[in-house]
Amino acid sequence: MTPTAPEILTRHGKAVDKYLQGALARLDGAPSRLIEAIDYSVMAGGKRLRPALVLECESAVGGRQFAEKQNPSTARRPFPTPSALAAAGAIELIHTFSLVHDDLPAMDNDDLRRGRPTNHVVFGEATAILAGDAMTTLAFELIANAAHPATAPKLVAELARAAGPCGMIGGQILDMAGESQALSLDQLKNVHRMKTGALIVASCRMGCICAEANPDSPRSAGDDSSALTPRPSPLSSVTAYAQHLGLAFQIIDDVLDETATAQQMGKATRKDAARGKNTYTSLLGLAGAQREATNQLQLALAALVDFGPEAEGLRTLARFVVERHS
């Protein structure tokens, strides 16, 4: 029986929480106030979607590689590997750092996150800024120290690009610049491919990298169509899946900002319109936004067409993203 999305998220969340708690406990010599501030936000809960995608992608790609070998004597590697756990912990640290900084008065000026006061409300703005900075550096330290030597440089490059000026941080700049301006749908999608989608794409690609997926994967021997229609590589397939999933996630976030309560979301709602932010609901209406989210879901699922049951967890998570209520 296929696990439900909450079961998948809980299982991976527990593994990543344990990993991150161990990482924080090893920070000998760091100021206790700083560790307390990091722990406050990192261990505040949340869906743990991004680290779950890392671990599910490693398992899906590794499982597919195993199935394609069709060699009973080949032992399947257990998942998650140390590389994937490091990548999952790192992506959650980067995501949490972005939330801490986004909540600051200079940015979104929010005082509620994950159902409790934001970091800067509890620890002050300066400590919140430094805690976010420390999460960023710790993320790359985890990969450098724990990932396989052949894999670590690829994971570092993937995460750095997704979090940096061409990814999440660049998207945040575009989002702020677009306030009180009318963006087209294509422009809005570009903002969210960077601001929200980049880390989701990186999560999936990092899981694929941890499974040591080859960049190109020809069809199996005996397939007469291989010369004409080469099958997409696992890396390109999960990338396409994640790109559509990232857009679906943001569209539903916009829908929930208008339809859910602050208690359901664990943060303030209905603030985007007051700040003049461009949203999918303002451009498409509620019904139109929901249709577009469903369309992105179908495209995400279609990208996994070459995967078998080993990718059922990814399909389940994609449906959860669109059907969620918080």
pLDDT at residue 288 in the model: 97
CB 326 within 8 A of CB 264: yes
Range of the domain at 134: 5-216+231-323
From first to last of its 326 residues, what are the pLDDT tens digits of the chain?
789 999 999 999 999 999 999 999 999 999 999 999 999 999 998 999 999 999 999 999 998 876 666 554 444 567 899 999 999 999 999 999 999 999 999 999 999 999 899 999 999 999 999 999 999 999 999 999 999 999 999 999 999 999 999 999 999 999 999 988 989 999 999 999 999 999 999 999 999 999 986 554 433 333 444 445 567 899 999 999 999 999 999 999 999 999 988 788 878 778 777 777 899 999 999 999 999 999 999 999 999 999 999 999 999 999 999 999 98
Say how many domains are in the chain: 1
**What pLDDT is attached to residue 300?**
98
* pLDDT in the model for residue 226: 45
Is residue 184 assigned to a domain?
Answer: yes
223 belongs to a structural domain = no
pLDDT of residue 70: 53
Judge whether 209 lies within some domain: yes
**Token pair belonging to 205:** 């690609």
Long-range contacts of 268-277 (CB under 8 A, 24+ apart): 268/110, 268/111, 268/112, 271/108, 271/110, 275/179, 276/179, 276/180, 276/181, 277/175, 277/178, 277/179
214, 230 contact by CB (below 8 A)? no
Helix (H) or strand (E) holding 112, with range, is strand 112-113
- Burial of residue 150, with CB atoms counted within 10 A of its CB: 0-12 exposed, 13-18 middle, 19 or more buried: exposed
CATH number at residue 262: 1.10.600.10
In angstroms, how far is the first alpha carbon of the chain from the final one? 25
Looking at residue 229, its pLDDT comes to: 56
Predicted local confidence at residue 74, as pLDDT: 43
Which pTM was predicted? Answer: 0.92
Q: Is residue 224 part of a domain?
A: no
* Domain presence at residue 169: yes
Q: What is the pLDDT of residue 215?
A: 53
φ and ψ at 112, to 5 degrees? -140, 130
pLDDT of residue 220: 38
Is 221 within a domain? no
Contact 56, 314 (CB under 8 A): yes
Instruction: Name the burial class of residue 170, with classes exposed (0-12), middle (13-18) and buried (19+) by CB atoms within 10 angstroms of its CB.
Output: middle
In a domain, 94, yes or no: yes
Write the CA distances from 253 to 98, 109, 188, 315, 325, integer angstroms: 16, 18, 14, 19, 9
Residue 136 covered by a domain: yes
Reduced to 3 states (helix: H, G, I; strand: E, B; else coil), residue 324 is coil
For residue 7, the tally of other CB atoms under 10 A from its CB is 12
- pLDDT at residue 231, rounded to an integer: 75
With beta carbons less than 8 A apart as the criterion, state whether 90 and 16 touch: no
The residue among 325, 173, 179 whose CA lies nearest residue 258 is 325
Q: Does residue 116 sit in helix, strand or coil?
A: strand
Check residue 213 and give its pLDDT. Answer: 65
Q: Give residue 63's pLDDT.
A: 81
